[in-house]
């Protein structure tokens, strides 16, 4: 048994934050950001992450032309759920009318979508379910420390979803290799962003990311390279048989270094980090949707995907595409209108960061 990808949908919120916008309130420039990362802009959401997930899911369901009652399982891949209890998958179960589905959230950071696709595919292969909705969505703009230029310029909001369905044909995620790099938890970390907080801290704590850019860079290239080699070896598929490569979109230099190591022609590699920034769990479904819209994924292609994120978690998967690369039906799902610019949306967070750093620099107590 296999699990073909029969529907796909994305949601990029309308407000766009350019590199020049960032330079209006922090010491950075379009030139620095673009030359170091390949990023030109990122989207900032005016709605909760689950709203982006709902729109992407409704589009994926229409694309597959299935009735939502056919869905057995919803996995909400994200490290920025709307709330911890209850899970955010249950929001989508209700919102799309998947009345026969159960759902759970999966958080392995940026790798959450590929991990979720692997879990759902394996459940279909095992025969316990037939149809699943797999989501990768992120609204990290609300938890960004907009006073820190090293990390905040990299990330953006967005979401994507796929519908996968049982088939006897060898289609969908054929196999995957998931791994964790030992002793790297502190390279990207939101310390104590959870329940491990004392009662005294509860009302005064703010989140600031531990972020070791160069260490992440090196481990990302190595981890994804090893995962790709492992899944190719596992499946007996040769590098030369890969038609199109869809890597995690964090930094174009990471993508270029990885492609070079893998001997892939960059023309056969998906790059969309320029338009979205790093949308964490949403990068792969957004990249898949854009590649389909641009006609870069063709019927019967063999795809390789690679992913990495906080943990550090890594992974790679071989996806065999089916005969259809266009939606069966268009969806009319839309986000509610947005009447603010991206700078206006994140304005309160910028102000809070300015006050916090002014306080810290003057020796005052904070955090």
Q: Does 312 sit behind a cis peptide bond, omega within 30 degrees of 0 on the bond before it? A: yes
**Dihedral sign of CA atoms 230, 164, 289, 275 in order:** negative
- Say how far apart CA 310 and CA 349 lie, in whole Å: 23
Nearer to ligand UT7, 66 or 273 (CB): 273
Q: Please state the closest distance from residue 251 (CB atom) to ligand UT7, in A.
A: 4
Whether 199 is catalytic is: no
Alpha helices in the chain (DSSP H): 19-22, 30-37, 49-64, 89-95, 112-126, 149-152, 213-235, 252-261, 273-276, 283-293, 342-361
Expressed in percent and rounded to 5, the helix, strand and coil fractions of the chain are 35, 25, 40
Nearer to ligand UT7, 57 or 313 (CB): 313
The closest residue (CB) to ligand UT7 is: 213
Q: Please state the closest distance from residue 276 (CB atom) to ligand UT7, in A.
A: 12
Nearer to ligand UT7, 134 or 250 (CB): 250
- Say how far apart CA 146 and CA 347 lie, in whole Å: 10
Q: Please state the closest distance from residue 189 (CB atom) to ligand UT7, in A.
A: 11
Q: Which of these, 109, 98, 28, 20, lies nearest to 58 by C-alpha position?
A: 98
Question: 98 and 68 in contact (C-beta within 8 Å)?
Answer: yes
Nearer to ligand UT7, 217 or 357 (CB): 217
Q: Please state the closest distance from residue 223 (CB atom) to ligand UT7, in A.
A: 11
Give the single-character DSSP code of 282.
G
- Contacts to ligand UT7 by CB under 6 A: 28, 32-33, 36-37, 110, 149-150, 153, 188, 213-214, 216-217, 250-251, 278, 309
- Say how far apart CA 86 and CA 62 lie, in whole Å: 27
32: CB partners within 8 A, 6+ apart: none
Nearer to ligand UT7, 40 or 125 (CB): 40
Whether 338 is catalytic is: no
**Distance from CA of residue 46 to its chain's centroid?**
18
Q: Please state the closest distance from residue 321 (CB atom) to ligand UT7, in A.
A: 25
279: CB partners within 8 A, 6+ apart: 42, 43, 138, 155, 156, 157, 158, 159, 249, 286
Nearer to ligand UT7, 42 or 59 (CB): 42
Q: Please state the closest distance from residue 188 (CB atom) to ligand UT7, in A.
A: 6
- Say how far apart CA 252 and CA 35 lie, in whole Å: 9
Q: Which residue is catalytic, options 19, 79, 251, 278?
A: 278
Whether 110 is catalytic is: yes
Q: Which residue is catalytic, options 46, 248, 251, 272?
A: 248
Phi, psi of 339 (to 5 degrees): -105, 15
Q: Which residues are catalytic?
A: 110, 248, 278
């Amino acid at each position: 048994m296999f699990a073909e990808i029969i529907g796909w949908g994305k949601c990029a919120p309308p407000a766009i934050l350019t590199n020049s916008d960032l330079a209006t309130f922090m010491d950075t420039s379009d030139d620095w950001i673009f030359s170091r990362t390949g990023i030109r802009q990122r989207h900032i959401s005016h709605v909760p992450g689950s709203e982006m997930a709902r729109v992407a899911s409704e589009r994926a369901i229409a694309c597959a032309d299935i009735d939502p009652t056919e869905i057995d399982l919803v996995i909400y891949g994200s490290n920025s759920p709307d709330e911890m209890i209850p899970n955010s998958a249950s929001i989508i179960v209700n919102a799309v009318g998947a009345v026969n589905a159960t759902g759970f959230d999966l958080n392995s950071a940026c790798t959450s979508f590929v991990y979720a696709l692997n879990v759902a595919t394996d459940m279909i292969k095992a025969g316990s379910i037939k149809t699943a909705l797999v989501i990768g969505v992120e609204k990290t703009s609300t938890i960004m420390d907009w006073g820190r230029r090293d990390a905040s310029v990299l990330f953006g909001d967005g979401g994507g979803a796929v519908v996968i369905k049982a088939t006897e044909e060898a289609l969908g995620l054929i196999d995957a290799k998931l791994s964790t790099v030992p002793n790297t938890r502190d390279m990207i970390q939101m310390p104590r962003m959870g329940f491990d907080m004392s009662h005294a801290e509860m009302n005064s704590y703010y989140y600031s990311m531990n972020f070791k850019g160069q260490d992440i860079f090196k481990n990302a290239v190595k981890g994804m390279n090893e995962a790709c080699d492992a899944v190719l070896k596992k499946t007996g598929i040769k590098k030369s048989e890969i038609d199109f490569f869809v890597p995690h979109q964090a930094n174009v230099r990471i993508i270029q270094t990885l492609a070079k190591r893998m001997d892939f022609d960059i023309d056969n590699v998906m790059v969309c980090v320029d338009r979205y920034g790093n949308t964490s769990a949403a990068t792969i479904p957004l990249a898949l949707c854009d590649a389909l819209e641009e006609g870069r994924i063709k019927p019967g292609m063999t795809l390789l995907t690679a992913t990495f994120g906080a943990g550090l978690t890594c992974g790679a998967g071989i996806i065999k595409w089916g005969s259809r690369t266009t939606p069966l039906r268009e969806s009319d799902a839309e986000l509610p209108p947005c009447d603010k610019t991206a700078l206006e949306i994140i304005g309160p967070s910028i102000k809070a960061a300015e006050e916090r750093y002014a306080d810290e620099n003057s020796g005052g107590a904070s955090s």
